[in-house]
Amino acid sequence: MTEATQGMLGRGYYDAHSTFQADVAASGGALLAQAVDILKLPADGKVTVADYGCAEGRNSMATVQSALALLAARGVAEPVVLHNDLPGNDWAGLAANLSGAASYLKNFPQARALFAPRGFFERVTLPGTVTLGTSGSAAHWLSRQPPGLDMPRSLYRSDAPPAELAKLLAQAASDWQAFLAARAEELHPGGVLLVQMLGADGKVSPVRVSAAGLLKLMNECALSLVDDGDIPQDVYAAYCFPVVPRTIEEACAPLEAALADRLELIHCGLNYVPSPYRLALEKTADVAGFAKSYTAFTRAFSETSLRLGLFNFGRGDPGKLADRFYAMMEQALAARPEAYPFDDLTLAVMVRRRGAATPAVT
Ligand SMILES: C[S@@+](CC[C@H](N)C(=O)[O-])C[C@H]1O[C@@H](n2cnc3c(N)ncnc32)[C@H](O)[C@@H]1O
């Protein structure tokens, strides 16, 4: 089985180049307030906030800080915060962020942070213990490369030929159901989960897929390495960029069927988060700065996956192939800054665990 990723680029690189993901999380502020408002606090007073796919933590700090402030207003004094990500995540970076100036522990010194280094497609903590779950810009990652792919000239949901698209969507559907089933086990009755991820608009034809412009550019750069003989064609054909933006219908499907008895759907909707790199370009007209920052943003989340699936099988040093790939991207963006818009659609899903709360033990 080929893993989708082993995590984001660490050592501060993801933190420094994830302003878009920070903006996505901020766009969910009202939903987070609603989540805390409607959740049932556990009778034993043991409140756990879990952030799924936390990366090295700058953005996780901000989300958790907001969640703890909202919970404090409901009288929660000593919460546990569980940070979840893959084993390959930069956990040392997260630990450093927790003792840094922007840590939520500064404002909530009674909180305690725990780490759960495990894939989120299965349970990562004890059953029935999570009060509030959050997940920002993470649940669109697949668990693995869909088996049997044959996409010699395409990379993503937006450009996959129909038979290959069906394989991507099948993997995305089974992963989403596994993600939600694991959260249904972890949430206690009345606990709430808020997920923000890349979305797609299924009401238009063809389906409008978030980040399609960026993936078009990544495909062009990768194909140029394939055409130069630096990445084997069969390796490229078996690889997709393992992120699948979902439509509202796809996101709701398991909540209306297999998981309907455990999870109550509270909200499922799309919102638009503008690209901060595009906004800066419009303000400053600094094309070189735009190309650099949009490329660094892309590198921060994509390099690990591209190395695992492509560069490690290429000709020569995988690090040099990665450098060439991102240099090509930056050049193309500098030459045609309008040509590859990120064109976001953020999908937010909120669910509440059904079931009666366990009576307090006296
Ligand atoms: C784009 S980052 C988002 C990080 C952070 N939540 C934010 O908003 O900036 C996606 C994160 O999801 C994590 N991730 C991807 N697949 C995962 C999985 N199967 N289990 C746990 N985390 C995963 C990645 O390692 C990465 O840290």
Domains detected in the chain: 13-353 (3.40.50.150)
- What separation in Å is there between the alpha carbon of 142 and the centre of ligand 1? 11
Atom 16 of ligand 1, residue of closest alpha carbon: 141
**Phi and psi at residue 200, in whole multiples of 5°?**
-145, 145
Q: How far is CA 261 from CA 131, 212, 313, in A?
A: 18, 35, 45
In terms of residues, how long is the chain?
362
Give the up-direction half-sphere exposure of residue 267: CA atoms within 13 A in the CB hemisphere: 20
- Which residues are within 8 A (CB) of 122 and not within 5 positions of it... i.e. 6 or more apart? 178, 182
Number of the ligand 1 atom closest to the C-alpha atom of 121: 19
Number of the ligand 1 atom closest to the C-alpha atom of 55: 27
**Which sign, positive or negative, has the C-alpha torsion 24, 40, 133, 158?**
negative
- The Cα–Cα gap between 322 and 230 comes to 11
Q: For 6-53, what is each residue's pLDDT tens digit?
A: 999 999 999 999 999 999 999 999 999 999 999 999 999 999 999 999
- The Cα–Cα gap between 281 and 229 comes to 35
To test ligand 1's pocket by mutation, which of 8, 81, 174 has the most ligand atoms within 8 angstroms of CB? 8
Q: For 303-331, what is each residue's pLDDT tens digit?
A: 999 999 999 999 999 999 999 999 999 99
Q: Please indicate whether residue 54, judged by its CB atom, sits closer than 6 Å to ligand 1.
A: yes
- The Cα–Cα gap between 54 and 42 comes to 24
Q: Please indicate whether residue 25, judged by its CB atom, sits closer than 6 Å to ligand 1.
A: yes
Q: Confidence class of residue 357 from pLDDT cuts 50, 70 and 90? A: low
Q: Please indicate whether residue 91, judged by its CB atom, sits closer than 6 Å to ligand 1.
A: no
Enter the pTM of the model. Answer: 0.97
